[in-house]
Amino acid sequence: MIPQAAPRGAGRAADAVTLGVPPTRTSRETVLSEIQRRDAPPAGRPGAPRPGVVDLWLLDVSRQTEETLDLSVLDAEERRRVAAFVHGRDRIRYAVAHTALRRVLGACVGRAPEAIELGRDTCPCCGGPHGRPVLADPPFPVHFSLSHGGDLVMIGVASEAIGVDVEPVALRRAVGDLAAVLHPAEQAELAELPADGRPAGFTRVWTRKEAYLKGIGTGLGRDLAADYLGTTGRAALPAGWTVVDVPTIPGHAAACAVQGPPFTVRMRQPPAELQAAGRVSSPGRGRGEDTAGPAV
């Protein structure tokens, strides 16, 4: 998530959709419809992640209401965190994100969503138990990442380490201070952009960087100036990783990072249970077309 103040202290994917280019369409109703039409996966459960394939879920929660939230699959700590949020939109984003994650992972490994047990890997920075989120005792290798920002929730599942990030475009007044913590080459690129293009350019590099840092397990505990991801064109590729931009709705940016060579991306529909129970939809379906996709 992009902080409100500065924190202290290339390649082409062989993908089923064209990634790395900012979206140019101007409405929720159309921005992802072509992607989903070309890349709709077959009905049924995703099962074990396939090597070289990344499944992504992008959920629009802008119409979700608190009255229709179903918290039954969340554990006690997740429910405590939902209740602790001051603002309703924050409660909705968190609740939908973690409910969707449990349903996706449950379908993947053949368990009830409420039976999913999550833990933390070891932090590469300090060795503490707060690294990348992991699935306890999976029947096969399953790596996942979760992000929520603005009106969107994003989930990624892969057979290798993965990180995803989705953010609303940063406010212009925040970009100057925040850009100062980036890689020097990224700072220079942002400075060359016209003033009205810097918020989008900054948000693009931030999502690339945070997706990568989540993938390696450090999160924002790693120096944001240590890695060059780039602000324009296709993302630079840190050694051993592939980072791509993910098309999304106007006013947001998203990225996905996976350990290994270029990968194929499959854009999935939201879990059918979420669509049936509330107003969660895929951005590509539009606000008036909450059509349930394949169960996952």
Is residue 1 scored above 70 in pLDDT? yes
Phi-psi region of 47 (alpha: psi -120 to 50; beta: other; left: phi over 0): left
**130-167 per-position pLDDT tens digit:** 888 999 888 888 999 999 999 999 999 999 999 999 99
Confidence of residue 198 (pLDDT cuts 50, 70, 90): very high
Confidence of residue 2 (pLDDT cuts 50, 70, 90): confident
Q: How far apart are CA 194 and CA 175, in angstroms?
A: 13
Q: What secondary structure does DSSP assign to 87-121, as a single string?
A: SHHHHHHHHHHHHHHHHHHHHHHT--GGG--EEEP
**Confidence at residue 11, expressed as pLDDT on a 0 to 100 scale:** 32
- Calculate mean pLDDT across residues 26-40: 40
**Confidence at residue 291, expressed as pLDDT on a 0 to 100 scale:** 26
Is-contact 245 20, C-beta < 8 A? Answer: yes
**88-103 per-position pLDDT tens digit:** 999 999 999 999 999 9
Confidence of residue 190 (pLDDT cuts 50, 70, 90): very high
Q: How far apart are CA 203 and CA 217, in angstroms?
A: 21
Q: How far apart are CA 184 and CA 164, in angstroms?
A: 23
Find where tokens 């700072």 sit: 187
User: The pTM is what?
Assistant: 0.81
Higher pLDDT, 295 or 70: 70
Question: Would you identify the CATH topology of the domain 33-278?
Answer: Ribosomal Protein L22; Chain A (3.90.470)
Is residue 295 scored above 50 in pLDDT? no
- Sequence letter at residue 220: L
Retrieve residue 156's tokens: 């990624």
Q: How far apart are CA 131 and CA 139, in angstroms?
A: 21
Q: Please tell me the chain's helix, strand, coil percentages from 3-state DSSP, rounded to the nearest 5.
A: 30, 20, 50
**Confidence at residue 279, expressed as pLDDT on a 0 to 100 scale:** 57
- Calculate mean pLDDT across residues 114-121: 93
Q: Tell me which residue of 248, 243, 176 sits closest to 211, measured CA to CA.
A: 243
Is residue 10 scored above 70 in pLDDT? no
For the chain, the domains span 33-278
101 φ, ψ to 5°?
A: -60, -45
Q: How far apart are CA 127 and CA 57, in angstroms?
A: 31
